[in-house]
Structure 1
């Protein structure tokens, strides 16, 4: 590494000094991520300053020289610098709101134009990159918060702006003095921030910035694998600034796609790891960055491949059956297979599991119709849906062993890349998952599954879509699929209500233990009948009699047979569901 210089300064020195025309937030930096906790600490430590006489230190701001004179790339400190600009802008706008555009307001505006915007309105003192740029410009120039921004960093920026406006308004309202005293209060808060001490570290070589950024991870600074990977590919992809900008836009698009998939616990970090282990050795997230850095030769190609797989996932999860069919290269295939794929993926999404994504990403990479038929894909995905239900939802077993199983499958699939391997791929998809489940002894025995199902308790408020999925599957099995019911047209109903009234003869303990058991839940077509929800069972039974669902016909028969509805009846019904469910979610079912 080349040399560096360090000097003590204040935030005002950074804004005022002619030595620093601009601080540029480079592409490799993470987005604006500060939330409520960080903003509160910033307010208390640097603006409110409740401890008189204490030295307030903003920490170190590390920058690197760039090819432009008096322009510096920010290596560490971007969150603090952006937040400072946000606060100053919020103060100006609150001033206008409370005092109008008086002489002091225009002084503040001139201050912002000179020290936040920079020497002219075309050059921002703090220049942000990527998707945050236009949002930042809108806020600094006009205080605009009316636009609907999709990206989380943009939302965070507006939350910060509104947070400071609310805090400043509260300070104004709490001060019962005259306007002059209130103005002094607001100006004191600005002075507090600008007088905050910091250490400015200037690296002589721009290339050292990547190394220093990476070094933060070794010192325990909270950098995720996605932060480090972004830094790495921007360092390794050689080319013009325009080419790096295109690479960054591709990366931002990957993040947006992964976020919009809405798969529980499937983050961008999980995406990177699963992408890697599908055709490399199985490793945890801690070892991932070193492996990628050591084994990757072409980062442009790696990023492009990641983007293609992300796009494939977007279509598979969010596309219609016809879009799925066309995307997979089978426009002539039966739409029922594409619908089966869509239904299985929707089911897996509500199961709160993501291990299968290793498998799915490997299939997405092999989506050429010459290798995988739509029917083959749908059948294999159905096996995974049913296995995941037994393993995760009912028996609640750990994910690590399943991740390893999917990674082994994906590694084997990756090696089959020639058209002559088509039959081997077909065999692997047809029996590969089942064989590995059996070899690794992952499937809980039938007796354990039925016992675990008998104890299954799901609060509909927290698991609404999962409960709908289970009960519609059971209903369609009980009715032999004659009428068929879909999740979209049903509502969940508690048989014994969530809140007991005098018409129910059951202990508080039994009520607590049984109220959210599946045996106490049913589905009804159309809107929920809230007027009947807390009625006694002899009144509620009328609503179940009106239902054409087989599940509710059986429920009415059970209530009439027992002349009651309590703990024993709920357990009996749930055990009947368990017996039926063993067939519904049979993994090797065709």
Structure 2
């Protein structure tokens, strides 16, 4: 290994090529990172600092003194290329433009055709980076940009905004300052293992490493002497990132880890995956393929993508309304390893029942997770449907659940989700209705007795007994109208009818058909809704 301080002039020079390997995360610097880098450099230039360091670049030398694989530092190296691309756009002096062009994207002097760029980014982004960033062609001709390509472009605009205050003379001096006075620690190794160790230590200005980054690098480390495996891992990982999204990758891995181990996370997520990976050490592509299959299943869960399975869609939609996402790992475990004698929809129904029971019962996270861990471990051991159902039933409490549903349910964090689920159940079962926009929980009998209509029909004691019960609650679309909530029943119905046109709730339509709203109406509706809730969630 060699480490030395190098000027940017020695880094971006015509005899060196840098490649971003497929195991690296895509370019991910936000505009704030790009702005910080160029502003820091500009301030150092204005102070006339003799030296300004911007961090380290760790490489594997692939061809002596010429071709390097960038293991760490791609964020700043890519941004440096974008900075020079911006300078080329703003400077008109021919020899300066020619020099900058050579440093980022050489052009054949006889054919005017671009040659190989100094920096080769990931395959799927290379054409965009070369054409619209390095060559500066009109972006309007580009197709829809990926997330990474948008970052290239946004950061180019951000950098341009910062340096546009400089005159052309100052810009040329700034370019010279960057080339001659800005330094990096340039580390050259001859193999992936050495570079990988440094990669985890020297991550100066770059974004902190995610668990996904570390897992990916470990996978590629296992592929070092297996080119075919490496190609398959690259293919799987790129598709996985496209499916899950880079920002959601760690969430996916956390859920997947739980779906495999069926217990509370004991160590750093990456370290736990390191243990799981041990059994795939000789065949890392098999693990990459497992990750990809799991990513497809995870996407189906998150997007509720279960076409032609209306029962499953309804149940997953209901689970997504829960205030926690601890139900995802057992569902993912089932999709990865189905229970042979159990339909997926029946399993999801089982999960919805226990999830809502424990949510309404306000169990703490540890108690809630106990049943999920049990379910995961049973699935992974190859259990039967009966074993699964009997185990889940042990953690249910139908009696307590019914008592809570009958009580002042308005104060439960689950109240809106319960009403929406009851609404779903009352609708045509041949479709799954999706609810969008702002939805509020409405007291039909108001929380305060102000209007004469209510004062005549409810004593303070009866009002206190019934006001927060399920039978007195309904759903409305839009923002809560604080003035209207105390109106008489007839005036309330006028508001309900108007508001209900936006999102048609059957629960609210039922109210519109009532001529009066009295104790009897509330108790009758209470019994009907509690009975329906128990049909849905009892175990």
Indicate whether 1:271 and 2:252 are aligned: yes
Indicate whether 1:254 and 2:240 are aligned: yes
1:535-575 superposed Cα distances (whole Å, 9 cap, x missing partner): 9846453243586965335645899547xxxxx9xx99999
Superposition pairs for residues 182-193 of structure 1, below 5 Å? 182-193=167-178
The answer (yes or no) to whether the contact 2:297–2:335 under 8 Å persists in 1 is yes
Superposition pairs for residues 96-245 of structure 1, below 5 Å? 103-104=92-93, 106-118=94-106, 121-138=114-131, 139-143=133-137, 145-146=139-140, 147=142, 149=144, 151-169=146-164, 171=165, 182-194=167-179, 195-215=181-201, 222-237=208-223, 241=227, 244-245=230-231
CA apart distance, 1:388: 2.7
The answer (yes or no) to whether the contact 1:65–1:72 under 8 Å persists in 2 is yes
CA apart distance, 1:25: 1.8
Instruction: Give the 3 Å change call, closer, same or farther, for CA 353–159 of structure 1 in structure 2.
Output: farther
Measure, in 2, the Cα distance between the counterparts of 1:443 and 1:5: 70
Q: What is residue 411 of structure 2 aligned with on the other side?
A: 455
Measure, in 1, the Cα distance between the counterparts of 2:71 and 2:305: 44
Q: What is residue 69 of structure 2 aligned with on the other side?
A: 73
The answer (yes or no) to whether the contact 2:129–2:152 under 8 Å persists in 1 is yes
The answer (yes or no) to whether the contact 2:19–2:69 under 8 Å persists in 1 is yes
1:477-498 superposed Cα distances (whole Å, 9 cap, x missing partner): 6x5x58999544787566889x
Normalised by the length of structure 1, the TM-score is 0.70
Gapped runs of 5+ residues in structure 1?
96-102, 173-181, 261-265, 323-334, 417-423, 459-465, 498-503, 506-513, 563-567
CA apart distance, 1:533: 9.8
Secondary structure, in 3 states, of the residue corresponding to 1:384? helix
Measure, in 2, the Cα distance between the counterparts of 1:405 and 1:494: 31
Instruction: Give the 3 Å change call, closer, same or farther, for CA 391–56 of structure 1 in structure 2.
Output: farther
Q: What is residue 302 of structure 1 aligned with on the other side?
A: 287
Instruction: Give the 3 Å change call, closer, same or farther, for CA 389–39 of structure 1 in structure 2.
Output: farther
1:362-421 superposed Cα distances (whole Å, 9 cap, x missing partner): 2112348xx244xx32122012123333444x56655455445323322322222xxxxx
Normalised by the length of structure 2, the TM-score is 0.75
Q: What is residue 327 of structure 1 aligned with on the other side?
A: none
The answer (yes or no) to whether the contact 1:278–1:358 under 8 Å persists in 2 is yes
Secondary structure, in 3 states, of the residue corresponding to 2:537? coil
Measure, in 1, the Cα distance between the counterparts of 2:400 and 2:390: 18
Match among 332, 338, 354 for residue 361 of structure 1: 332
Measure, in 2, the Cα distance between the counterparts of 1:544 and 1:521: 10
Q: What is residue 583 of structure 1 aligned with on the other side?
A: 534
Q: What is residue 4 of structure 2 aligned with on the other side?
A: 7
The answer (yes or no) to whether the contact 1:251–1:303 under 8 Å persists in 2 is yes
The answer (yes or no) to whether the contact 2:219–2:284 under 8 Å persists in 1 is yes
1:48-87 superposed Cα distances (whole Å, 9 cap, x missing partner): 4386244421122222211465212222211111011112
Measure, in 2, the Cα distance between the counterparts of 1:560 and 1:145: 64
Q: What is residue 47 of structure 1 aligned with on the other side?
A: 42
Q: What is residue 387 of structure 1 aligned with on the other side?
A: 354
Q: 6-15 or 189-198: which moved more?
A: 189-198
Instruction: Give the 3 Å change call, closer, same or farther, for CA 36–431 of structure 1 in structure 2.
Output: farther
Match among 381, 385, 398 for residue 415 of structure 1: 381
CA apart distance, 1:361: 2.1
Gapped runs of 5+ residues in structure 2?
109-113, 444-449, 452-466
Match among 312, 337, 345 for residue 297 of structure 2: 312
